[in-house]
Amino acid sequence: MFRFRRALLQTSANSLRTSGIMSNNNASSSSVAVAQKAVKQLRLEAKIRRINVSQAATDLKNFCLQNAHKDPLLVGVPSSDNPFRPPKSCGLL
Amino acid sequence: RPSDTLTTLKTESETLKTKLEEERAKLHDVELHQVAEKIEALGQFVMKTRRTLKGHGNKVLCMDWCKDKRRIVSSSQDGKVIVWDAFTTNKEHAVTMPCTWVMACAYAPSGCAVACGGLDNKCSVYPLSLDKNENLAAKKKSVAMHTNYLSACCFTNSDMQILTSSGDGTCALWDVESGQMLQSFHGHAADVLCLDLAPSETGNTFVSGGCDKKACVWDMRTGQCIQSFETHESDINSVRYYPSGDAFASGSDDATCRLYDLRADREVAIYSKESIIFGTSSVDFSLSGRLLFGGYNDYTINVWDVLKGTRVSILFGHENRVSTLRVSPDGTAFCSGSWDHTLRVTNRFSYARLLVNWSGSHSVITPL
């Protein structure tokens, strides 16, 4: 898939150029438009409100701990509650 | 602004990027694993494959769970899309697509339809008929049209809208009934390889990852990119939201998985080992977010402790690359699909309540 995507990357790069999204080879006016878009986007991203990693990490930790008991892959389930337990087969002697 | 020149804009671009990194760094007061130091470490993990779904004639590329927690849709390089009952391993439906490399498939929330696409550059919806004899292909509806391959698709909160990502570098939101494009998302500089919808409580956003090594968070209503993250060193093959919606994980060809917190606006953990050198193709969280499952190109599945950053288990079994992995809707199991043509449903090994198996005069406790 990796090589497959690389080959397609070339094709997609070509199709993007024709549609004008990537315009390395095109007229300078569209290069300016692309650069203007990039600056506008960066200004937007710079403005967002952020919290400390310590706060964010604590919230992630608390979510995990609060929900741990109902996480079947974490705590395991008794076989009787396991919908994927091996199908029971009865052998009649 | 008429006075803008390319050079001025590029300088401003660089300045803004540096400023963005400075702002993010100011709030980087601690590492996630430090906050998790006092938590009890997870014990030894034993997982067992409960079902192996055989029937695809070539590489399995994608799979998705139905909300009923038992049905699965999968798609393959050979153009086949199969709907399975994972409890019984029966195949309930099969469709042959008019193209090979069906890289994307998704189950509709109602359970009454599936969407799929790949090298045909489209996303098509097939209503699932209760009549086994009915030809599903006859009712096929073409919804999305891209100018390059379809890499991922998912229904939004209803059967009425589909979100797609494509090798053409864009994502798009479509109305299923009319096939109309409702919104398009531009910003990636190369193929978009994956996407995931935010949990419904968190609002109308989704995250995408691409060959430009960027993960982008989008506002579905405006088409705006809200946040972007560029710390991976290669293609991002998979993105998945943390169950609370406050973070997302990514898997990349750079052999790492990473966790990005949306409110801190930065990468907060890297899941890697020197011994892991093959790319991650797909990632998903367990229900509580404590575990991160990663399917890798070296045929293994690594299970990570999300908080402590350590690996808790490595699972073998597939005989070729793991290409797709999803945890079931109720978190009881996960399904992995592989280039070995199979899908496997795996969950936690647990001892049965006392199970006695008479063997002659012995009583034996059998772990399941």
**Does pTM top 0.90 for this prediction?**
no
Whole-angstrom CA distances from B4 to A42, B10, B323 are 16, 10, 46
- How far away is chain B from the Cα of A41, in angstroms, using its nearest Cα? 8
Which residues of chain B have a CB within 8 Å of the CB of A50? Answer: 23-24, 27, 263-266
Least confident of A21-35, A70-84, B161-175, B263-277: A21-35
Q: Taking a C-beta distance cutoff of 8 angstroms, is the pair A52, B29 a contact?
A: yes
- For the residues A46-63, what does the mean pLDDT come to? 94
**Dihedral sign, Cα of residue A9, residue A10, residue A15, residue A20:** positive
Q: Does A78 touch chain B (CB under 8 A)?
A: yes
pLDDT for the residue numbered B139? 85
**Structure token pair of residue B308:** 């402590």
A90 touches chain B (CB under 8 A): no
Residue type (1 letter), B98: P
Cβ atoms B312, B305 nearer than 8 A: yes
For the cut 70, the answer to whether the pLDDT of residue A18 exceeds it is no
- Please count the other Cβ atoms lying within 10 Å of the Cβ belonging to residue B314: 15
Q: Which of B36, B186, B355 sits opposite A61 (nearest CB)?
A: B36
Residue with the two structure tokens 């396991």: A82
Domain residue ranges of chain A, discontinuous segments joined by +: 1-71
What is the per-residue pLDDT for B351?
52
Q: What is the mean pLDDT of residues A14-40?
A: 61
B356 is written with which tokens? 């006695």
DSSP secondary structure code for residue A30 in this structure: H
* Residue where the block lists tokens 């090594």: B213
Residues facing B113 on adjacent strands? B127
pLDDT in tens, chain B (368 residues): 545 688 899 999 999 999 999 999 999 999 999 999 999 999 878 899 999 999 999 999 999 999 999 999 999 999 999 999 999 999 999 999 999 999 999 999 999 999 999 999 999 999 998 776 677 788 899 999 999 999 999 999 899 999 999 999 999 999 999 999 999 999 999 999 999 999 977 679 999 999 999 999 999 999 999 999 999 999 999 999 999 999 999 999 999 999 999 999 999 999 999 999 999 999 999 999 999 999 999 999 999 999 999 999 999 999 999 999 999 999 999 999 999 999 999 998 665 433 333 333 333 344 44
Q: Which chain B residues are Cβ-neighbours of A90 within 8 angstroms?
A: none
pLDDT of residue B343: 98
Q: Which residues does B2 contact at the CB level (< 8 Å), separation at least 6?
A: none
Environment class of B26 (CB within 10 Å of its CB; exposed 0-12, middle 13-18, buried 19+): exposed
Indicate the residue of B4, B51, B289 with minimum beta-carbon distance to A84.
B51
> CB-based contacts of B115: which residues, under 8 Å, 6+ apart?
B104, B105, B106, B108, B123, B124, B125, B126, B143, B153, B154, B155, B162
Instruction: Give the nearest chain B residue to A65 (CA atoms).
Output: B288
Asked if the C-beta of A91 comes within 8 angstroms of chain B's C-beta atoms, the answer is no
For chain B, say whether A62 makes contact (Cβ under 8 Å).
no
Percent of chain A with pLDDT over 90: 33
